[in-house]
Structures are given as C-alpha cells and as structure tokens.
Amino acid sequence: MEHKVCLITGATSGIGLALARRFGQDGYRIFITGRNREKLDQTVSELQQSGIEAFGIQADAASETDQRRAVAETINRCGRLDVLINNAGISMRALFEEADLDVIRKVMETNFFGTVYATKAALPYLIRSKGSIVGISSIAGYKGLPGRTGYSASKFAMAGFLEALELELLKKGVHVLLASPGFTATAIRENSLTKNGDPQGVSPREEEKMMKPEEVAGLILEAVKKRKRNLIMTGEGKLMVWLNKFFPGWVGRQVYKKMASEPGSGLEP
C-alpha cells in the first residue's frame, strides 16, 4: 500500500484536505493541488509533519493546462497513479434571473470541466493501475436546488459524465465512484459566488450541525476500498433521492421551503 498514489484536486482545505489526511494515513503517497501557493505549501508542510508523504502542485482546476501538468508531475515523481479524486469545486448563491452568466460559466468550468480535464489526463495511468476515479458531487446533483442553478447543473453534468465513463471502462477494470456528501462544514458557502461573482462571505447555514470533513473522507476511503459506484452519505439525502423518483413535485416543494428559509435567499416564503 505504501507505493499507491492519490491525486486530489483543490485540497488545501475542507473535504479535500481531510481526504489527503485520511488517504495519507492509509499509506498513500498524496499529491494535492491548489491555486494559492502559500496556502498549498503550508498544507503540504502540515501533512508531512504528520508523517504523510505529500506533495503540492499549484494548479487551477478550471485550467486544462494546469490539470495536465498536475498529472504529469505526479507521474514524473512516482511513475504511477492509483486514485484520482476530483474534489475542487465552487458553489453559487443567486437566483438565475439575477445572476451574471459569467457566474454560471465559472462554476461549470471548475466543477464539471475541471473533472473532465483531470480525468482525461489521468485516464491512461488509471487504466494501467486499474485504479479509481472519484467525483465529489452533491445531493444537488440529484435534485436541482433553487438559487444554485449553476452548481446543480455542474453536479448533474459530473454525474452523467462519470456514469457514461464507467460504462466505457467496464472491461478495463477502472473503478468509478460518485460520492455525494450532505451539507458539510467547509468554506464552500463562504466562498460561494453571489450574482455578480463576489464571494458570499458569511454562511447562511448552521455549520455546527453539518457533517465534518473528516467523516466524509472516511466514508469515501471505505467506498474506494469496496469499489462502490455511488455513495450518498446521509439518511436525509438517501430518502430525498428515493422519494424524488416517485414524488418529484412534493420533494421539490419541500426543497423550496428549506432553501427559502435561508436568510437572503431571494425566494418567496
């Protein structure tokens, strides 16, 4: 196990950092990407101090060139890749009728095309190792969330992409996992884009009641070991996905009520 290699995009905080710690503790060599060099170096240093063999690559998930380079640097250093975790992502919080289209475009470029770029670059090596491709999705990829049109679209797109790719790889031994945490206490809501592209700044939710990144990371590691296809991490999420198959209108009304209750949602109560 000490020779296995895991590349995680967008892993200087939140779920990505928790995944780096958990997979590193399990014996993987860890490569993480991030846009901010100072934060990236600090994260790598913290991982190394805890006994994890970690390396950082400055890269923007929305850049095809950066994603190719991240994979190339991983292969140049270790000669193999066993797990790719497409974790980098951003959210949004704006009604579609008010949102700049650049906001939708930026969310899609990071969440969806970032996954496509990294997976395309890594695929030959994952076929060789019969490794795993992981997409960090959301319940928003099963049910559209009002005020999150671009985010929901990006997660639906990721799900469709990975499902089709899984079938293409059916005879090649590559494992594909779509992992959907519940609301998790990370900085994604503080960094969520408002209608003009500025970060939201303050989370409208009670973060202390959410899943912890470490819990999410542990569940994903076990799902990779068991080579699961789908992982929905909360009972509420599983129930919503099941009910939505049979009662989409009713589920939609419940989702609307919940999202409308957020301060500043812009939705009529």
Tokens 């994903």 belong to residue: 220
CA of 156: how far to CAs of 4, 200, 202, in Å?
30, 23, 26
Instruction: Let me know if 151 is a catalytic residue.
Output: yes
Contact 9, 34 (CB under 8 A): no
CB atoms within 10 A of CB 97: 8
Per the listing, tokens 């500043």 go with 264
Q: How far apart, in whole angstroms, are the C-alpha atoms of residue 10 and residue 89?
A: 7
Those residues with Cβ within 8 angstroms of residue 1's Cβ, 6 or more apart along the chain or in another chain: 26, 27, 28
For the chain, how far is it from start to end, CA to CA, in angstroms? 53
Residue the block writes with tokens 């250093």: 77
Which of 117, 125, 142, 151 is catalytic? The answer is 151
Starting at the earlier edge strand, list the strands of the sheet with 230-232. 54-58, 29-34, 5-8, 83-86, 132-136, 175-180, 230-232
Q: How far apart are CA 7 and CA 32, in angstroms?
A: 6
Of 20, 18, 33, residue with least CA distance to 68: 33
CA separation for the pair 16, 85 (Å, rounded)? 9
**Which residues carry out catalysis?**
151
